[in-house]
Structure 1
């Protein structure tokens, strides 16, 4: 019988939900990521999101499968095995990339969440970011099981909210979507759309360090495959739904800071939908922060000498990461660091996508 989590959800779903809740942050909830990477290329955004998630599903399947086979559940031990015999170069390079990715993504989570709560209920930005930091800290000190269960509950809530807001507006805006497709302009082309899609998939793939940290519950290669399929279905469907909904207002919506708010104000939902979006953004930024910080915590704990104080080490490691990322958000370093996002996307192609494809082909013909 397949092992289940404490609330009767298959364990591969709990791992898939960690992928989804890391992916679903403020940029996803606001529609900004969909607009920039997919909708900016017009009607191609109907199919490019699902291809991007298909690429990531292959990467994460291999990562989880590799973790199961090699018993590597922190990103440093995983990269040491994955890049062998060149691990001294590539493991250190990935460590730098992951820390930068985690730092920026979590700092943006603090900033976005703090601003969203301030707009919704009027509490001070600083107090809001402190509250978010405290929640992330508490959720990352008790181990992978709590992180998976939190991701599952939050993931279910987010899925319901996304379907309500995006789904309703996609149905209402369907005639506009058809018009956009029919009137596709010549200033977009398939090559630029596919390249943007690849960069998005590449940047998302760099979060693999957060996903192997919760993969210890997967016991077989079949579990890894199921987790990849479940994650692909969840992320692919919802990212496509978000992109198609925003596409209805192309090209004018590309200049809107929060496309989702614009969509509900010009579609259906009004104030209620705006409140749901605010809740989704807060849930998304917290879950993103939790999953990234826990990936870093698992790395630090594995590095410390084993002296039977693992829980104390988790507390200290979590506190370090939370304070660093909170400080980045607090003192305005995000714009400086975030300039490296595109560069990180480029790095993800040779660092993860191409090596995984090579290893899968090699496995197939060996």
Structure 2
């Protein structure tokens, strides 16, 4: 009798790549939720969903465009998308994406190294090398391995987030309701919406990593399903994280790691802290893998198709891992990471507006 195995739908595996790229140390620690959403008080009830809704539309169009035009590395995608202005905008996007990829992956090494150090007591430098080795091996075997790794890691992260954030959200529910009912906020709705847009814009820049795994999508319906699945996963969990942190607004805004504060003042204690540490490590690995693989697809697109293709992938992966590890090792992160906000601003005219313009134009043509 033939053995039957469980197979994850291809659209869901692509959606998991989105989630595991989005989920990094900033997400797991609650810092991103605090900075971009909870800082604006009760508006954080709905702004995370709006941010993920914008990204879902962007990524749906990106995957749909990849399926139609067979563009599975970000440079060929941007050349086709921005044509006939591709010489300008493709280069601009490439600069932005490489900066984002470099900083995000370097931060992954730094965050993961520090987390392992605080958890196990092992030295920071060997910890970062350990993470670099894992990222390297997960990126040299192609999109299928990246999607599979993203799927398994994504499931583990979702379970952990639901346990830690979900339980504490239930326990602190009266505090959350109090903040919402009192409409407590130190800013106005326009500030909250602008912060939401910047967050969505910065996340949208990662589209280069997502088109790299879109070759498994066979139809435009698959692209739509991937976008819907990603919207639900990212929207629900980001909102859950924001609501949990919101219970301690505004005092929690000054806490470096809001999630640790939440579990120490709610439920979970040492066990929850260990779960959070594990989630951070899983998150930084998945973020690094997805970004590095997006860069790898760009590099190997320069070479002609031949029997050395796998060697090219190994070389490209090694190049990106060493480069981003070096940024983390030699302390360039504080300097470069100041550009995060700037990248969010750039993403609005370079990516968000053009995608919405094309979607509206396509709607009126149909």
Counterpart for residue 3 of structure 1: none
Counterpart for residue 329 of structure 2: 330
Instruction: Output the CA distance in 1 between the equivalents of 2:141 and 2:28.
Output: 27
Once the two structures are superposed, the pairs formed by residues 84-233 of structure 1 within 5 Å of their partners are 84-185=83-184, 187-233=186-232
1:303 aligns to what SS in structure 2? coil
1:151 aligns to what SS in structure 2? helix
Instruction: Output the CA distance in 2 between the equivalents of 1:149 and 1:342.
Output: 32
2:67–2:219: 8 Å Cα contact kept in structure 1? yes
Residues 1:355 and 2:317 are matched in the alignment:
no
Deviation at 1:363, TM superposition (A): 0.5
Counterpart for residue 70 of structure 2: 71
2:301 aligns to what SS in structure 1? helix
The alignment's C-alpha RMSD in Å is 1.0
Instruction: Output the CA distance in 2 between the equivalents of 1:241 and 1:124.
Output: 34
2:63 aligns to what SS in structure 1? helix
Deviation at 1:185, TM superposition (A): 4.0
Counterpart for residue 9 of structure 1: 8
Instruction: Output the CA distance in 1 between the equivalents of 2:214 and 2:70.
Output: 10
Distance 1:111 1:186, change over 3 A: closer
Counterpart for residue 277 of structure 1: 276
Residues 1:45 and 2:44 are matched in the alignment:
yes
State the Cα deviation string for residues 233-257 of structure 1 (Å, max 9, x = none): 0000000000000000000000000
Instruction: Output the CA distance in 1 between the equivalents of 2:363 and 2:31.
Output: 38
Counterpart for residue 83 of structure 1: 82
Following superposition, which runs of at least 4 residues in structure 1 exceed 6 angstroms of deviation?
Answer: none
State the Cα deviation string for residues 277-325 of structure 1 (Å, max 9, x = none): 0000000000000000000000000112333211000000000000000
Deviation at 1:184, TM superposition (A): 3.5
Counterpart for residue 235 of structure 2: 236
Deviation at 1:183, TM superposition (A): 3.3
2:71 aligns to what SS in structure 1? coil
Name the TM-score, length of structure 1 as normaliser: 0.98
State the Cα deviation string for residues 304-348 of structure 1 (Å, max 9, x = none): 233321100000000000000000000000011011111100011
2:46–2:239: 8 Å Cα contact kept in structure 1? yes
Residues 1:247 and 2:246 are matched in the alignment:
yes
Counterpart for residue 343 of structure 2: 344
2:42–2:185: 8 Å Cα contact kept in structure 1? no
Residues 1:25 and 2:21 are matched in the alignment:
no
Name the TM-score, length of structure 2 as normaliser: 0.98
Instruction: Output the CA distance in 2 between the equivalents of 1:291 and 1:189.
Output: 36
Instruction: Output the CA distance in 1 between the equivalents of 2:181 and 2:125.
Output: 47
State the Cα deviation string for residues 165-200 of structure 1 (Å, max 9, x = none): 000000000011112223334631100000000000
Instruction: Output the CA distance in 1 between the equivalents of 2:185 and 2:242.
Output: 20
Instruction: Output the CA distance in 1 between the equivalents of 2:184 and 2:290.
Output: 40
2:41–2:185: 8 Å Cα contact kept in structure 1? no
Residues 1:289 and 2:288 are matched in the alignment:
yes
Instruction: Output the CA distance in 1 between the equivalents of 2:280 and 2:185.
Output: 34
Instruction: Output the CA distance in 2 between the equivalents of 1:77 and 1:185.
Output: 47
